[in-house]
Amino acid sequence: MSIVPITVCGDKILRKKTAKVAEIDDNIIGIISDMFETMRNANGIGLAANQIGLNKQIFVVDVSPVEGYEKYKPVAMINPKIISKSEETDSVEEGCLSIPELRAEIIRPKSVFVNYFDVNMKEHT
């Protein structure tokens, strides 16, 4: 595992549609490990592959450091797709690892349902 540089706002890859992952191999497993290590080193709770300069549909999240969410396990989502979201919203102060030093109140749906594959290519919703 290694810590890799985080792509910052202004880089075109952050606006580009990312490519689906066709198969999970040692390279993808290594990328996911690097993403978790990079995210944790930066005190983040989520990181997408394009935030480390990779054109791949991979997202990692670990909310366990957040008070009240300690019971949740880290998750790597491969080819994630939002399938539905609640109409009810919530406002929370957030930051983004690609926009260092900036935090803002963000209004988001209170719940989101995502379809994705794990590192064993098992489908989840």
Percent of the chain at pLDDT > 90 equals: 92
Three-state DSSP class for residue 102: strand
pLDDT band at 1 (very low <50, low <70, confident <90, very high): confident
Report strand pairing: 58-61 vs 46-48. antiparallel
- C-beta separation of 53 from 13 below 8 A: yes
* Per-residue pLDDT reduced to its tens digit, 47-89: 999 999 999 999 999 999 988 989 999 999 999 999 999 999 9
The structure's pTM equals 0.91
- Assess whether pLDDT exceeds 80 at residue 105: yes
**12-124: in CATH 2.60.40.420:** no
Structure tokens that stand for 42 in this block: 């930066």
